[in-house]
Chain A
Amino acid sequence: MSPKFTRKGNNGQNYPVCYGEHVLGGGVIRLWCRHQNLCTPRWIVGNYYISIDVRGSTQQVVKMMKFMLLFSRQGKVRLQQWYSATQEKEKKKIMRELITIILARKPKMCSFLEWKEYKIVYKRYASLYFCCAIEKGDNELLTLEIIHRYVELLDKYFGSVCELDIIFNFEKAYFILDELMLGGEIQETSKKNCLKAIAAQDLLQEEADATRNVLEEMGLP
């Protein structure tokens, strides 16, 4: 059940909002107050409507990662990757709210929380929080392990990674993430293959740098 309560409007009337919903393997049961007549089919229990979206409808929902955030204990964002088009203003708002919520949570609490239409999965590594938003019904535990695999990749690449590495090489952090995840889906789960791809990129960069150094030695900008 995700609570979405009605609130009294400015003019004192109760505005109809879904009171709660219950996502099943193959459908959603929603509870509405009696004002609402948007949902079909429905049953009436007292002053409430119960609607059931039939089997299959939840499966039409894409189960992908919506965004990933890295932020410090001080609440500074270190990396953000958005997998669905979002307005810049909205992004800032989401980040602000989420960081506040997560920083306020105690260490022993569970790593999942329902927030708006998302499920938030987060984990703290040293001074950094890694936080992903996924759809309800997606696999929370495996999302935790995506985070872990990413940390492993960073760690292997930078050699016991710390927050500073990510600050100074933020573009690398993005490139590594792109090897692991693409468009909100996992792309390559093999650590070896990911690192191989990054190494190949660095090789290309070295070649470029080598040419530049030659030019610089010749006194060219």
Chain B
Amino acid sequence: MPTVAKGDGMRGLAVFISDIRNCKSKEAEQKRINKELANIRSKFKGDKTLDGYNKKKYVCKLLFIFLLGHDIDFGHMEAVNLLSSNKYTEKQIGYLFISVLVNTDSALIRLIIQAIKNDLEARHPVHICLALQCIANIGSKEMAEALTKEIPKLIVSGETIDAVKQSACLCLLRLFRTSPETVPPGEWTQRVGHLLNDQHLGVVTSATSLIHTLAQKTPEDFKPCVQLAISRLSRIVTSSYTDLQDYTYYFVPAPWLSVKLLRLLQVYPPPEDPALRGRLNECLETILNKAQEPPKSKKVQHSNAKNAVLFEAINLIIHHDTEPSLLVRACNQLGQFLQHRETNLRYLALESMCLLASSEFSHEAVKKHMDTVITALKTERDVSVRQRAVDLLYGMCDKSNAEEIVAEMLSYLETADYSIREEMVLKVAILAEKYPVDYTWYVDTILNLIRIAGDYVSDEVWYRVIQIVINRDDVQGYAAKVVFEALQAPACHENMVKVGGYILGEFGNLIAGDQRSSPMVQFQLLHSKYHLCSAPTRGLLLSTYIKFINLFPEIKGQLQDVLRNNNNLQNADAELQQRAIEYLQLSTVASQDVLATVLEEMPPFPERESSILAKLKKKKPNVSDIEVVKEGKKSSNPPTLNNSAANTPEATPASAPVPVMAAAPAPAPVQSASDDLLGLSAGPAAAAPVTNNFAAPAAPAGGGGLLVDVFDTPPAQNNVSTALAPQAEENFFKFAIKNNGVLFENELLQIGVKAEYKGNLGRLGLFYGNKTSYPFQFFTPTVSCPGELASAMNVQTKPLDVNTVEGGAQVQQIINVECIADFVDAPILSIKFSYSGSMQQINLMLPVMLNKFFEPVEMDATSFFNRWKQLSRRPGQEEQKIFKASFPINSDTSRTKLLGFGFGLLDGVDPNPDNFVGAGIIKAQSSQVGCLLRLEPNMQAQMYRLTLRTSSKSVTTRLADLLLKLF
């Protein structure tokens, strides 16, 4: 080898690299690099006569610096200059720099393309090769458009040397991948196919890669290649390793080409011509036979290359999926590899067998290896191999072996790597459901799953077992029995408590006959877990208790004691408190009949409904909780007493305020009872019944933003109120004429608003500032649209990135609103957080009012009066108010207020200069409403006369209401 060229090529570069390597610290290295960069920069800038060699040297240094991980922002132009050098080495460095460092969207791309074009037409083949290599490595869409025409000529021309043909094939392949439309099929396509017969195996290899990709797009064009490929493959596999000379790799003839040919054949179905098919099968058999021969070398390279071909052959066999004998042979071969000492082979065997398991011909053959795979699962040291074993067990599972495989997976789960537990849990759950031996087995399996890996059992899994138990009455008694037993374990997972609580609440009566599981025992068992559980689970257990009151009237007293316990009745968690109060009331007030109706057994879960909810949730992920509540409301009245009045659809805005205290329980229809009381909705969509209940009281149907105290007399001195915060209303109306400001402030929290509106769209930035020095935890603001507002406005809330607001910190939240139709109420912003252990809740009206979607209009006196007259014909279009001024009358402030409100003020229209005349348009998505205004102040009486005319009665009323508050 010409060793002289090494390092001596550019002495300055070698010195620089040594310097860098001698640097003792990161800082020293950075210093040396900065020095060099300054040097290069000055060289590039100053010295106009920089020769090619020096340019090359500096470009190379820049490249080195870049590869060390530093950013390079100059030198690109010099590199591009090197491309047009006629010295090969300079050109080569130029191309290297371009390939490594230049973005394909660089401004220099035109120059680069021109240089490449020149080189493609060069006399010297090495220059052509450089250009082709560059395209092949970084080819972009622009390059494809400019250069694709030239390449096919090079491939099919008889004059091109082999090395250029090879590069040209891969170059065209790159361009085709980048933008297929620039590579039009033509006469050359056929001739490319014939390259499979080329003398030079390097050319055949490159051509096969190209043909493979082209054939995927237009298989018909390359169909003749099938025959060529088979005969080439046949020649290779039957050749002796000496025949192919340097293309034999460790005694394996042309492994790369073989693999590429086998892959090309996977584009097509098995050949129809029997002779051809026979020949291909012979090839495949030969490859399988060779695997059985003793190795010709002990080197791992030999076995790797041989097996690489074998695995690709097996892929083809699986792809064809028509030759049972080959499939079974492949399976047996892989079976041998399962116990091979090479980890790599065991890994690949497990992986390929997974594919074989899906073929009807080899599925049974794969199943024979179950024991080996189970051993692999237990003994492999590499987690990625164990993962493959899990996959294969999953793949080979069917009715006949499900029980065993699930049992093995369950037992492995106890010691499984944390990284794969969640996936394993899912797989076990799916297998258990797909191939149930019987449903008792299914219930056992899932409960075991929760017992062993409770943390990894997602909600979907335990929802599912409950759905299945509810829908199949033959398994209910058994399920009650086993959950009861499972709960007796001293430490059981919270998910187990959830399932247990739910199932006993529904079917506890089925095992109550046994003294060992009498109602009292069941209750005490569940209640022993109560205090260890999180709030949602406690909520679920409270629901279980009310169901127990219905099922077992004999222990009603004890259950009521629990509900009455101060821990529940005054719980900081509003949900628990509410449930305790309501259930207690329900159990005291309702007769046994009513109770039985309300708490009737769950109806079977309908599959369809949950998917609708899921869809709904998917569509509007941010407002879905509200939608879900609405969904519930439409079908029924929620039985929760406090909410019932506020939530009834008939409760129009006008009927507020409604003092509702836990009066007579509204006997709710059965359906609703199941919706809310059971703490479990039909599907994963309504995963959190807790939020359902929360959303409801947070959205009182109060009219005109009036303060509605839902708890007229609070049942206990709780710090969680569902009513609007004090000053909420006053602050709210301030925002009628401004967009930015403080919406709320108390000793803990300040909420600032910045808003902008355009047309029917608005964007609000809310800034939550923690005024204390302690963090707010579980900080969750939610926005809901009460009542009719939901259909008049779209609100999208971006969830906060964090749920903790540190002391003194501020977090921002963006809310987008879209006005669909005119509206009266404001969306409710409900903020919950925990401050030094106690839950806080603040309900506010989001300062979004109708006039925010107002656009001022300019018009002259004539058109104003024309419209003014037009708008007086129908009743309701005009609203006139005469009222006493709340603020001192001042012409300038009035003007500012009206402009801030959104009106365009029309001067000189009204003969009296003290009066104001304005016009504007309300832009809602569904309609646009024109509005005209006249405001006449009377200084002496400190009174105003306000006249509004619009085309819509509701708009007139609302705007008049808002304006009244301003003057």
Residues of A within 8 A of B (CB): 1, 3, 5-6, 9-14, 16, 19-20, 22, 24-26, 31, 33-35, 37, 44-48, 59-60, 62-64, 77, 79-81, 83, 85, 92, 106, 108-114, 139-142, 144-145, 148-149, 156-159, 165, 167-172, 174-175, 178, 182-183, 185-193, 195, 197, 199-206, 208-209, 212, 221
Contact = CB atoms under 8 A, between A and B. Distances in A.
Contact of A13 (B90, B344, B394, B621): B621
A141 to B, nearest CB: 4
A193 to B, nearest CB: 6
B381 A13 contact: no
Nearest to B312: A139
A44 to B, nearest CB: 8
Contacts of B348: 112, 140-141
A25 B318 contact: yes
Contact of B63 (A62, A171, A200): A171
15 contacts: A3-B422, A26-B318, A33-B460, A34-B610, A35-B617, A47-B461, A108-B343, A110-B343, A140-B344, A169-B7, A189-B201, A192-B246, A199-B1, A200-B126, A208-B89
A183 B621 CA distance: 43
A189 B249 contact: yes
A161 B343 CA distance: 28
B430 A10 contact: no
Contact of B459 (A14, A46, A192): A14
Interface string B304-317: 11011001100100
Interface in B135-159: 136-140
B239 to A, nearest CB: 15
A172 B355 contact: no
A47 B683 CA distance: 8
Interface residues of B, number: 125
B241 interface: no
The secondary-structure label for the interface of chain B is: helix
A202 B2 CA distance: 7
B266 interface: yes
Given A63-B263, A110-B382, A141-B305, A197 B163 contact: yes
Interface in B930-967: none
A193 B311 CA distance: 27
A190 B201 contact: yes
B137 A201 contact: no
Contacts of B684: 14, 33-35, 47
B460 A206 contact: no
Contacts of A113: 384
Given A5-B423, A46-B433, A112 B464 contact: no
Interface stretch (B202-210, B223-231, B666-674): B202-210
A182 B167 contact: yes
Contacts of A195: 1
Which 6 residue pairs are nearest across A and B when measured between Cβ atoms? Answer: A183-B136, A141-B308, A11-B799, A142-B308, A110-B343, A190-B246
B202 A183 contact: no
Interface in B274-295: none
Find the residue from A3, A79, A195 having the highest chain B CB count within 10 A: A3
A110 B173 contact: no
B40 interface: no
B1 A159 contact: yes
Of A13, A62, A158, chain B has the most CB atoms within 10 Å of the CB of: A13
B430 A111 contact: no
A77 B67 contact: yes
Contacts of B301: 145, 148
Interface in B383-397: 384-385, 387, 390-391, 394-395
B474 to A, nearest CB: 18
A139 B799 contact: no
B87 A208 contact: yes
A121 B207 CA distance: 25
Contacts of B246: 190-193
A113 to B, nearest CB: 5
Interface string B13-56: 01001000100000000000000000000000000000101100
Contacts of B312: 139
Contacts of A24: 318, 355, 358
A3 to B, nearest CB: 4
Contacts of A199: 1-2
Contact of B137 (A169, A178, A202): A178
A11 B311 CA distance: 46
B678 to A, nearest CB: 18
B139 A183 contact: yes
B661 interface: no
B308 A145 contact: yes
A189 B256 contact: yes
Contact of A201 (B17, B126, B395, B464): B126
A35 B246 CA distance: 56
Contacts of B177: 62, 64
B699 to A, nearest CB: 17
A98 B86 CA distance: 40
B304 A141 contact: yes
Contacts of B318: 24-26
B140 A85 contact: yes
Given A64-B177, A168-B17, A187-B167, 13 more contacts: A1-B391, A13-B617, A33-B684, A35-B614, A35-B685, A112-B348, A114-B384, A139-B311, A171-B60, A182-B166, A182-B167, A201-B92, A206-B5
Nearest to B4: A206
Nearest to B348: A140
B624 to A, nearest CB: 8
B391 A190 contact: no
Given A183-B136, A189-B249, A20 B423 contact: yes
A106 B611 CA distance: 46
B259 A142 contact: yes
B183 interface: no
A172 B4 CA distance: 13
B240 interface: no
